[in-house]
Amino acid sequence: MSSKPAFKVLGRDTQRQDGVAKVTGREKFASDLSLPNMLHARVLKSPYAHAKVKRIDVSAISDPTVVTLTPDEVPDARFCPRLMSTPEATYKDWTVLTSKPRYVGETIAAVAAESEEAAQRALESLVVEYEEFTAVFDALGSMEPGVEPIHDYIELDEETLKVESNIACHLEIEEGDTEEGFRQADHVVERTYRTNRRYHTQLETKSVLVRPEPNGGVTVWSTTQTLHNTRILLHEIFGIPMGKIRVMKVPIGGSFGSSIQVNPVVPIAVALALKARRPVKLSYTREEDLHDHCSYQMIFKLKLGADREGKLTAGHLDAWLDIGAHQIQAYPLLGCVVGWWVSLYKLPAKSYVGKAVYTNKVPSCAFRGYGNPQITWAVETLMDELAEKVGVDPLDFRFMNYIGEGDLFWGQGPSVKSVIHSCGVEEILTKGAEMSDWYNRPRAETQTGRHRRGWGMGRGYHTSSAGAPVPGTVIDFGGAMLKLNEDGTFDYVSALMDHGGGTLDANAKIIAEELEIPHHKVNIVRADTGTTVYDVCTHASRGIYSGGGAALKVAAQVKQKIREQAGNLLDAYPNALKFRYDQQREQAVVYAEGIEGREITYKELAYTMRNKNLGTIAAVDSYRQPSCPPHFTGYFIEVDVDTWTGKVRPLRVIAGADIGTVINPKLAKGQIHGGLAQGWSMTVNEDTPYDPTSGDLWNRGFISDYKVPTSMDLPSLEAFTVFFADTYEPTGPFGAKGIGEGALNPVAGAVANAIQNALGVRFYELPITKDRILEALKRKEVEA
């Protein structure tokens, strides 16, 4: 149990500063923006999965106002669109446009015209001659001898690397004697798992608006999770001085990792704008967006061993990651996958071989958990199966082996290690078991009839940032600025992006808690790269822990400056001054305790300093967290399986989360609800299969073909219980940790285990569709 301090602002539900604009539809996203004299762009995408562009004929375009862009008109620099790792871990295989498309939908040309309709007509006038190559759509098949190479070479830290067997990169790790660990095991289970490829289904498709400036620079409004990395990449590609590139902060309509990289539309639109010398806007249609990004499909061969008492002795993991046609930081993902795996349960000995493999499919990128939901699904289902062999309850098996407080965990891989200082795993599992009556759940062998019910549980975690006590291959720091205004309010300025979950409001509340004022006294300023210090990206559930850490750091500096200036004006010792909020005056007050009249409000302080030419109280600083503490989650889920149709329905969900100090209770619960929805869909529904003949997606559309669950497919609010463990993270701002990705990671394992509990059948491939359930029941009936 924790000994949390009493908070005045944190832990209370408050109205968001952007709430009215969003619910009234007045919020402006990148796709809503326009500028005078603006051109509209469209892109020409390859209809072939693997080909060479022999010729592009633009002569049929007669409109002189149309601007065309072909591969020979853009810089040929190779780059990686995700700048979040050090150079020695950043593999480069992208170009702005390509004359060798490697997947259906890769951009080979672009046009800009006075209207989107005119641009589309011009696009359809282009004549392209292709030479088609053989394509491959399976990661294991891609490595076979004789397969057409997708990339001949790639670049790494200014070095050219030859690609062998379509393996983009690999990682091997061993700690302890794995062979001896398996010899000591009384029970060993080895299984092969295959995950699906999911589209992010974020509300906003990729969009960008670019304005060329008279000084040779550009101003950019784009769909992005990272302002500063966008500027850096444009500088690297086009050679424009960074001081002449301004990336403006605009709201993002959801992301889930889909804009963790600089999106392809951005450099294309910049190239068009520079050529046209006019503003250019480029927005993807939903179908184009579906051909732009997806989650990583992964194939795991996982082996775990345990002794007769139920203690794990060893583990081995082979992982093949289907990254698609290009890398969006595949090497760090290989490290993350092994980190996610070995940080769930104590393995005295472990070994790992991970390979990232090119295929002729849409490039994969981070999707809420960055590989964590995939490997956690495999681990949690195998833990259930191994517990059955040992002869212990799967919940008790987890209690015996989980990694918790005081243990070393690998976080986001072997270069990001730290010690766990707060852990609510036992509280989550104990309370979840009590609420679900876990030990009295039904068994598959006792059920008959059309409908079968089952309970399953799964636990997991995600890191709060990618911080660590020592430098690693992951860049993870940010910064903030805070200043006192003349009316006693404060301006909070940060490049940190809010994906829509209320991150910036939470950070404003952290500032308000430190300065002892209501949260609405902290104004969230919408800024740009020219007015903010560097922030790496909103990823790794770092918005509260790292972004809030930076906010707290500058708030503490501002508070100290207030003490010093108020001390001078009040003729009092700064360290003896106290703070309170005066509701009647609606002002924070700095006062000398016990001395009547020796006080000054924030407003009076700022006003006096202005009139006396003493300057503005402000602070700006950067911050890297010394750790990446795990926020733990656990789900207990009851399902109903219709054995006639194969349909699975969620009946009841009990979800526990350890996120340290809860900043916004309703928004935190909302993250859990959203994580359940995405995890449920990942388990039973979503996939992006490919037509092996055309090389295109089978579900090419969004409305008709790609289905995600609605509220009618999910548990009612009455059947969905969320609780938070009573913990306090000593390295976090006021004890807070993250929540975003941990809300999703264990869901697939819990749902799959619930289906097994209902049917007595285990599944090793996602999604567990109705057809697969019916096929498995038929096999079971035949085998019986």
Tens-digit pLDDT profile for residues 93-141: 999 999 999 999 999 999 999 999 999 999 999 999 999 999 999 999 9
pLDDT at 703: 62
**Confidence bin at 771 (pLDDT 50/70/90):** very high
How confident is the model over 479-516, as pLDDT tens digits?
999 999 999 999 999 999 999 999 999 999 999 999 99
pLDDT at 237: 98
How confident is the model over 368-421, as pLDDT tens digits?
999 999 999 999 999 999 999 999 999 999 999 999 999 999 988 898 889 999
Q: In this prediction, what percent of the chain has a pLDDT beyond 70?
A: 99
Q: Is the dihedral of CA 711, 715, 719, 723 positive or negative?
A: negative
**Are 93 and 546 within 8 A, CB to CB?**
no
- Identify the CATH number of the domain defined by range 33-133+203-254+259-290: 3.90.1170.50
pLDDT at 470: 84
How confident is the model over 445-485, as pLDDT tens digits?
999 999 999 999 999 999 999 988 888 888 999 999 999 99
Say yes or no: do domains 19-26+477-623 and 33-133+203-254+259-290 share a fold. no
pLDDT at 422: 98
Pairing of strands 312-324, 350-358: parallel
Helix (H) or strand (E) holding 592: strand 587-592
**Are 429 and 368 within 8 A, CB to CB?**
no
How confident is the model over 704-727, as pLDDT tens digits?
678 889 999 999 999 999 999 999
Q: Which CATH architecture has domain 19-26+477-623?
A: 2-Layer Sandwich (3.30)
Helix (H, G, I), strand (E, B) or coil at 657: strand
Domain boundaries defined on the chain:
19-26+477-623, 33-133+203-254+259-290, 387-469+627-783
How many angstroms separate the CA atoms of 782 and 784, rounded?
A: 5
pLDDT at 1: 45
How many angstroms separate the CA atoms of 45 and 273, rounded?
A: 19
With 60 as the cut, is the pLDDT of residue 2 above it? no
How many angstroms separate the CA atoms of 618 and 557, rounded?
A: 8
Q: Taking the model in full, what pTM does it have?
A: 0.96
**Are 175 and 194 within 8 A, CB to CB?**
no
Q: Which residues does residue 65 pair with via DSSP β-bridges, in sequence order?
A: none
**Confidence bin at 629 (pLDDT 50/70/90):** very high
Helix (H, G, I), strand (E, B) or coil at 638: strand
The candidate with the shortest Cα–Cα distance to 699, out of 263, 198, 42, 51, is 198
How confident is the model over 301-337, as pLDDT tens digits?
999 999 999 999 999 999 999 999 999 989 999 999 9
With 50 as the cut, is the pLDDT of residue 615 above it? yes
How many angstroms separate the CA atoms of 547 and 497, rounded?
A: 9
pLDDT at 474: 86
How confident is the model over 521-536, as pLDDT tens digits?
999 999 999 999 999 9
How confident is the model over 214-253, as pLDDT tens digits?
999 999 999 999 999 999 999 999 999 999 999 999 999 9
Q: Which residues does residue 222 pair with via DSSP β-bridges, in sequence order?
A: 208
Q: In this prediction, what percent of the chain has a pLDDT beyond 90?
A: 94
How many angstroms separate the CA atoms of 572 and 224, rounded?
A: 48
Report residue 187 CA to chain centroid gap.
36
The residue assigned the tokens 């002449």 is: 244
pLDDT at 315: 98
Mean pLDDT score of the chain, rounded to an integer?
Answer: 96
Class of domain 387-469+627-783: alpha beta
Query: Distance between the two ends of the chain, CA-based, in angstroms?
Result: 50
The candidate with the shortest Cα–Cα distance to 327, out of 144, 207, 150, is 150
The candidate with the shortest Cα–Cα distance to 91, out of 20, 172, 15, 162, is 162
How many angstroms separate the CA atoms of 467 and 539, rounded?
A: 12
How many angstroms separate the CA atoms of 307 and 292, rounded?
A: 47
With 60 as the cut, is the pLDDT of residue 3 above it? no
How confident is the model over 139-197, as pLDDT tens digits?
999 999 999 999 999 999 989 999 999 999 999 999 999 999 999 999 999 999 999 99
Say which residues have a Cβ less than 8 Å from residue 494's Cβ, sequence separation at least 6.
478, 479, 480, 481, 504, 507, 527, 532, 535, 547, 550, 551
How confident is the model over 251-288, as pLDDT tens digits?
999 999 999 999 999 999 999 999 999 999 999 999 99
Helix (H) or strand (E) holding 757: helix 747-759
